[in-house]
Amino acid sequence: MKRILEKAVKWLLTASGFVTSVVILLIIGFLFTEGAGLFREPVVEEGYVLVLNKENPVSAMTAAEIKAVFDEDVVNWKDLGGPDMAIETFRLEDVDEYFSAEELGPQYENAGGAIAGLVESRPGMVAFVPGSMIPEDAGVKLAEDRNISPGEVFGGREWFPTATPAPLFGILPLLAGTVWVSLFAIIFALPFGISIAVYMSEVASEKVRGFLKPVIELLNGIPSVVYGFFGLIVIVPMLQQVFGLPVGESGLAGSIVLAIMALPTIVTVAEDAMRNCPRTLREASLALGATKWQTIYKVVIPSSMSGIASGVVLGIGRAVGETMAVLMVTGNAAVIPSSILEPLRTIPATIAAELGEAPAGGAHYQSLFLLGVILFFITFLINMCVEYISARNRAKNS
């Protein structure tokens, strides 16, 4: 009976381990397929085309150029390599300005022909309409469309996922924002984290330590949205006054909140590493006449360096992937930040904020999955670093 039970438990553990691994692999596979789907999407919103006059020599435009044209930032075709001719833009919403209801027909069945005729008669016009509306034999030409290229995505400096007719998916501002805010968070958290760890493992009495350690670990249990709220109500107005900023939501507010959040991880891991420093090392140092402080910074810290490093890297990992707190305090402006006092936008915040209303399966939706893939690679790299550092540590100690 006992043996059967043991077998059953063993079988159950194997099965659950196997199933979990497969599920994790499937999730990663799903992330990658959805993310890669972005590069199969056309530049112009799916289902729509840009209609140009036949005479117009310009036949292809980049997403950024299309946006500039429809925002009326570029108003002449010569800026796009065409003739010196004013650009007229046409959207479906403008249809009543040009045609009466009778001309369009009760079910708008004549709208396609009418728009094609309009573009035919105006050499400088570019129309953004559903592809199915334009009749096959119309005397107009469609702007060449191609798929979104990786260069535009990975090298693009503008994130405009809902721009029409052509959304822009440049991830550089988001990547820069993530790196920037995590970097500063770790710069703030590092000195405090290490000093708390040294104090707790070397200086504090057993009583103080018994009180401090659970308090610091308690910080880990506070939900991140509470940190975000605290940041928005307390840190943001404070920064605004201290630095005299026009706007308090900034990378700095985000990195301060993240530093507080990363602190417990750094402290706990670094403190454990220092306490695990072999007693023989300390005693040897003290026996040679070193003071307590000399022992700490010449012996204890160097010998537990890899433990401290993995604590720091784990802290960075927490900062990079943090969503809610950052979403609430950084202002989420998708520009490449030039100083930490400016608003910025991070990758996790973008995913959380935009996925809710992005049409499922569309380019915007897939671009968010691509951001997920990038985040996956960043945290993967960080975890590899932790593995490497602790492997080195094990090798040294054995």
Partner 1 sequence: MYRGTYVLAIISCAMLFCRNAEAQRVKGSDTLLPLTQELAEQYIDEHPGTEVIVTGGGSGVGIAALPENTTDIAMASRRIKFGEKMKFAEIGLDAREVIVAYDALAVVVNPSNPVDSLTREQLEAIFRGKITNWKDVGGEDRKIVVYSRETSSGTYEFFKESVLDNKNYMSSILSMPATGAIIQSVRQTKGAIGYIGLAYLNPFVKPVSVSYDGGASYARPSVGTAADGSYPIVRPLYYYYDARKEAEVGPFISYVLSAEGQASVLEQGFIPVLMEEKAL
Note whether 346 binds partner 1 by CB under 8 A: no
How far is Cα 184 from Cα 342, in angstroms, rounded to an integer? 13
Note whether 223 binds partner 1 by CB under 8 A: no
Residue 48 C-beta: closest distance to partner 1, Å = 7
How far is Cα 326 from Cα 252, in angstroms, rounded to an integer? 10
Note whether 137 binds partner 1 by CB under 8 A: no
What separation in angstroms does the CA of 383 have from each of 122, 243, 313? Answer: 59, 36, 8
The burial of 185, by beta-carbon neighbours within 10 Å (0-12 exposed, 13-18 middle, 19 or more buried), is given as: buried
How far is Cα 27 from Cα 369, in angstroms, rounded to an integer? 12
Among 35, 48, 95, 124, which residue sits at the site for partner 1 (rule: CB under 8 A)?
48
Span of 265-273, 301-309, 348-356, 386-394 interacting with partner 1 by CB under 8 A: 348-356
Q: Could you tell me which residues are beta bridge partners of residue 141?
A: 52
Which tokens go with 89? Answer: 């833009």
Residue 29 C-beta: closest distance to partner 1, Å = 21
Identify the sign of the CA torsion 205, 206, 211, 217.
positive
Minimum CB distance to partner 1 smaller for 133 or for 270? 133
Residue 123 C-beta: closest distance to partner 1, Å = 23
Span of 205-213, 255-263, 295-303, 330-338 interacting with partner 1 by CB under 8 A: 330-338
Note whether 87 binds partner 1 by CB under 8 A: no
Minimum CB distance to partner 1 smaller for 116 or for 197? 116
Among 124, 248, 311, 348, which residue sits at the site for partner 1 (rule: CB under 8 A)?
248
Note whether 142 binds partner 1 by CB under 8 A: no
Residue with tokens 């959380």: 352
In degrees and rounded to multiples of 5, residue 56 shows phi and psi of -70, 120
Among 17, 57, 83, 130, which residue sits at the site for partner 1 (rule: CB under 8 A)?
130
Note whether 289 binds partner 1 by CB under 8 A: no
Q: Does residue 168 sit in helix, strand or coil?
A: strand
Residue 71 C-beta: closest distance to partner 1, Å = 5
Stated as kind and residue range, the H or E segment containing 159 is strand 159-160
Residue 73 C-beta: closest distance to partner 1, Å = 9
Among 91, 146, 298, 396, which residue sits at the site for partner 1 (rule: CB under 8 A)?
91
Q: Could you tell me which residues are beta bridge partners of residue 147?
A: 42
Q: Which of 195, 196, 187, 190 has its CA nearest to residue 217? A: 196
What separation in angstroms does the CA of 18 have from each of 9, 13, 28? Answer: 14, 8, 16
Among 11, 27, 29, 71, which residue sits at the site for partner 1 (rule: CB under 8 A)?
71
Cβ-based neighbour number of residue 105 at 10 Å: 13
Residue 230 C-beta: closest distance to partner 1, Å = 12
Minimum CB distance to partner 1 smaller for 338 or for 397? 338
Angle of helix 2-36 relative to helix 363-397, nearest 10 degrees, comes to 130
Note whether 232 binds partner 1 by CB under 8 A: yes
Tell me the number of residues near partner 1 by CB under 8 A.
49
Among 35, 38, 45, 322, which residue sits at the site for partner 1 (rule: CB under 8 A)?
45
Span of 14-22, 102-110, 161-169, 179-187 interacting with partner 1 by CB under 8 A: 161-169
How many DSSP H helices and E strands does the chain contain? Answer: 18, 6
Cβ-based neighbour number of residue 220 at 10 Å: 13
Span of 28-36, 208-216, 351-359, 372-380 interacting with partner 1 by CB under 8 A: 351-359
How far is Cα 147 from Cα 288, in angstroms, rounded to an integer? 70
Among 39, 160, 230, 376, which residue sits at the site for partner 1 (rule: CB under 8 A)?
160
CB 349 within 8 A of CB 334: no
Residue 259 C-beta: closest distance to partner 1, Å = 21
Span of 65-73, 145-153, 178-186, 193-201 interacting with partner 1 by CB under 8 A: 65-73
How far is Cα 285 from Cα 292, in angstroms, rounded to an integer? 9
User: Which residues of the chain form contacts with partner 1 (CB under 8 A)?
Assistant: 45-48, 67, 70-72, 91, 93, 130, 158-164, 173, 232-233, 236-237, 240, 246-249, 327-328, 331-335, 343, 345, 352-362, 364
